[in-house]
Amino acid sequence: MTPVNNAADNLALNIQDLVLEFGHPPEVVRALDGVTLAVPGGTILGIVGESGSGKSTIGFAAGRLMPDGVRPKSGELTLLGRSVWDIEVEDMQEIRQQELRYVFQDPIATLDPTKRIGWQVKNAVNPPLSDEDVVNSLQSVGLTDASRVAAAWPHELSGGMAQRVVIAMATVGDPKVIIADEATSALDASVITRVLELLRDQSRKRNITLLLLSHNLNAMKRFCDRIAVVYAGRVVEHGPTQEVFNAPAHPYTQALLAASAGHEKPGEMLHTIPGIPPALQGASKKCAFEPRCRFALRNSGEKSCDRTRPEQDNITEDWHILCHRWRDLQQESN
């Protein structure tokens, strides 16, 4: 498969045909089934899909944080121009401290309950921050009473305050990449927008590449430059946010949007996607979405959805898709 972006020198993250598996025969589970994804530096990318689609696995693989037993079977993954698989353990730890940071779902669980906030922010980088820089970092994420927060214990903070602290820790030292995995799902609705605005603004200000992994399609439309839709361990659609949301080409993207709250008309019921995502034990030999797709062609020759694995096609130069039928569906919609 050809790369989706030839400007490799500008890529913060470059994944080509990546296959990850865990377990041992005959109990092998394929977590990623050939992911291809190129992320230019400074981009805010939203990665969306149902639970089990593989989006979190992509995020963890970027920092080589896969659970025990997960191993790369084939493909390439480069972070800031270096192969993740070839980096020594000590160097990878340094990269995760200096250049790649994570913001996880539960901010309170992320923080060390035995250390005060100021100590944790100070030691988020090496060498440690000064006390003045700790206060400045907390102020930069909207914590006005920064001195009091620095002296607090994690359990004394609200969820929104704790997530702001975690974002401060993620952005100190000007990292190159931040991966936020469902970073707002544990927060109240009133706080979600403010936290995402903070992540976006910090990324823009510091030219940080930001990957937002989320179920929240409405938020992804508002805050992301690009969208990657993941299903059964593959990126099935990837392109500029407005194009993907305004005219989704893949049936799975269409189904996700139809099932997402906020797109329905008054009195209209939300749609559901029938069936469940597959649990792959090897490479999918067909379109993995075929059993759930209302547009699938079956028993129809070379491009039959139930017989042939779709390969990447280009809708435009920077909008990519895995679907046998996308051209037919576009013509039918017109």
| Domains located in the chain, CATH noted | 8-99+175-333 (3.40.50.300)
pLDDT tens digits along 59-104:
999 999 987 778 899 999 999 999 999 999 999 999 998 999 999 8
pLDDT tens digits along 115-131:
999 999 999 998 999 99
Q: How many CA atoms lie within 13 A of 168 on its CB side?
A: 29
Encoded tokens for 271: 């749609």
| Closest to 46 measured CA to CA, from 255, 254, 196 | 196
Pairing of strands 313-316, 226-231: unpaired
CA distance 123 to 144: 21
Q: Does the pTM of the predicted model rise above 0.85?
A: yes
Polymer length in residues for the chain: 334
* pLDDT beyond 70 at 50: yes
More confident residue, 10 or 190: 10
Q: What is the pLDDT of residue 2?
A: 38
What's CA 323's distance to the chain center, in Å?
21
Residue 309's pLDDT band, with cuts at 50, 70 and 90, is: very high
Q: Choose the weakest-confidence range: 1-5, 7-11, 213-217, 266-270.
A: 1-5
Q: Choose the weakest-confidence range: 43-47, 197-201, 317-321, 322-326.
A: 197-201
Torsion angle, alpha carbons of 92, 104, 245, 262, to 10:
180
CA distance 25 to 21: 11
Residues 235-253: what's their mean pLDDT? 97
Torsion angle, alpha carbons of 127, 131, 135, 137, to 10:
-10
Q: What is the pLDDT of residue 265?
A: 67
Q: What is the pLDDT of residue 194?
A: 86
